[in-house]
Every structure is written in C-alpha cells, then in structure tokens.
Amino acid sequence: METKWLEDFVSLAETRSFSRSAQLRHVTQPAFSRRIQSLEGWAGTDLVDRSSYPTRLTPAGETLYAQSLEVLQALQSTRAMMRGHTAAGQDVIEFAVPHTLAFTFFPAWVSALREKFGPIKSRLIALNVHDAVMRLVEGSCDLLIAYHHPSQPYQLDADRYEMVSLAEEVMAPYVKPDADGAPMFRLPGRTGQPLPYLAYAPGAYLGQMVELILKQYGAAIHFDRVYETDMAEGLKAMALEGHGIAFLPYSAVKKDLRAKKLVSAAPIDMKGLQITMDVRAYRERPSGKEAGKSGIHTNRSAGPGPKRNAQALWDYLVTQAAAS
C-alpha cells in the first residue's frame, strides 16, 4: 500500500469526481482510477459506489476516509519533525527543478543570487515536470522552479501556494551552421524535402510549447521527425552535431550562439516561430492552510515552520520581482 493512494482517495472523497481529482493530483484519469482500484484491492472491499452519480463512498469508504485523514496528518507531522532535525545547523534550501531548467537556467541563476543575496546552501532535485510539481505538493522541497505559460498552467491552489516570477525564457529553433556560417537547414523546408526535426518526446512540457508555436504560426512547416528525447540538452547535443533543427530555450544555447556553434534556423521573416515563457518559483504558503479540495492535508503547526534561509530567500525574490 502506498501513501499516495490514500492521498488520492481523500481527494476523491472531497471532490466526488474522478476527473477533478485526477487533475488536482497531476495524473491522467485512467492512472488515477487504477490507483483507487489498487487501494480497493489492498482494502479487500469496494470503497466507491460506482452505481451512483456523482461519485459517493461506500460505508467502508467512509470509514477509510476518516482514518486516512488521521494517518496522513500523523505522517506529515512526523516528517516535518524529522526534516527539522535534519535541517538543524544546515538550513539547506531544497529546490525541485525540471531537468531542462536544472541544466540551463539554475546554475547561472544561483551564481547571480549568491552575488546579490549572499551565500546559500542548496540541494537540487532534478526531475520531470510532473514529478517536480509533485515534490512541492507532497511537501518534499522548499521551492519549485518551473516554466509557466498561460496555455499550460499548473493546477496549484492559489490559497495554498504562492508564486514569484524570476525571469523570462524565449524558445526558438536552432541549427548547426555550415562552413560559411549559414544554417545547415533553413525553415520552412519544402514539400518532398522535409527538414530533419529533433523533437521532444510526447508529453514533454517543452514539446507542448513547440506544438503551440507551430499552431500559432499557421503557415506550413515541413519536418521529418528523425529523433526525440525528453530533455532539451539531449536535443542540443544532436543539433550541435548537425543532425537537424531543434527548438531550444535561449538559456540552453546562448553560449553556443556566441561561439557560433549554433544559429537561428528561422529567417528574419519567420520570427513568429518562437514563444516566451515565464520562469517561476513556487512555494507552499507558510500559514499552513489545508489543501481544501486538493486531497492533501498538512499540519505545519506540528513542524518547525519555514526554514530561516528559505524564508529570507523568498522575501528577497518577492522584492526583486516587485522592483523589476
């Protein structure tokens, strides 16, 4: 039995909706349903009355719901106490960061931060976007740093989480230059002669941004998908070897552009082939409000409260954002 099954079940008991709870728990509805079924398998009985709508719990489900709240509260309190002991004398700030930002944005950002804010002790947890967000939701990091675009918002309750903007990031197509410094492959390509395209794997956040770029551009782009991966750094490595065109964040390629190892793949009249995203930091509000309909309950009063350095850093980031 996994504790996340209990968290899923509490969410379902409160929303009475499989689809809404799946959205709040950042999983697909089929995956969410399988986790509820796994919990029922562990319990040895039906917890949800599937003959009714909206969803309601069986008597056994009502019993488990009440017990789950107590179990999760106790686990959260115990973890908060243990993390307080671990952090004592260290005050390490834990960051959950998607892989691309971990390789591109984060190192330079921390360097600038140490110059202006002062020295900090940090721990970086590099993950895919879904797992990075879940680190924040589960209370396993101090700050989440992630891309944001209005077309793909994270379903984070504003009453429980707060956000500050750190920077803007532009994503555009890049390619290796030829011996004369011109792009090896130049957009938009031609019918019958598609350009080799280095793509993000299905489901990748930046892949969704590329799809939005191409949709908003409107005109035909002729691509032959020759390679795909989840990570921008992987695409950049292939682009540097001349394998094709890749859409990459500027922070990933700025040094290569200066060194003329990469150039824009879009002519001047195709500058619409780019998108601007926010880089944002998120944290749980220190007031310790319950998650309400999110299905996860916390009790911060039982723990040590926000880390001193994490709180000071957040205050600094908010001040910098307000001044910019």
Report pLDDT digits (tens) over 96-135.
Answer: 999 999 998 999 999 999 999 988 888 999 988 888 988 8
The rounded distance, in Å, linking the Cα atoms of 4 and 7 is 5
Structure tokens at 139: 């209370």
Tell me, what's the pLDDT at 111? 92
User: Which of 82-96, 99-113, 186-200, 243-257 is the least confident region?
Assistant: 82-96
Structure tokens at 307: 């880390």
The rounded distance, in Å, linking the Cα atoms of 260 and 174 is 11
- The helix/strand/coil state of 105 is helix
Q: Where are the beta strands (DSSP E) in 130-201?
A: 143-148, 161-175, 195-200
Tell me, what's the pLDDT at 269? 65
Question: Is the per-residue pLDDT at 186 higher than 70?
Answer: yes
Residue 134 makes CB contacts below 8 A (sequence gap 6+) with 26
Average pLDDT over all residues of the chain: 85
Question: Is this structure's pTM higher than 0.75?
Answer: no
Task: Give 293 or 133, the one with higher predicted confidence.
Answer: 133
Tell me, what's the pLDDT at 301? 37
Provide the residue count of the chain: 324
Average the pLDDT over 293-320 and give the result. Answer: 64
pLDDT interval class at 259 (50, 70, 90) = very high
Task: Give 27 or 172, the one with higher predicted confidence.
Answer: 172
Tell me, what's the pLDDT at 85? 60
Question: Is the per-residue pLDDT at 24 higher than 60?
Answer: yes
Average the pLDDT over 33-50 and give the result. Answer: 89
Single-letter code of the amino acid located at 119: P
DSSP letter for each residue of 265-280: SS-GGGTTS-EEEEEE
Average the pLDDT over 92-97 and give the result. Answer: 92
Tell me, what's the pLDDT at 307? 67
Tell me, what's the pLDDT at 242? 96
Average the pLDDT over 184-193 and give the result. Answer: 89
pLDDT interval class at 182 (50, 70, 90) = very high
For the chain, percent of residues with pLDDT exceeding 90: 44
Evaluate whether 40 touches 6 at the Cβ level (below 8 Å).
no
Tell me, what's the pLDDT at 298? 36
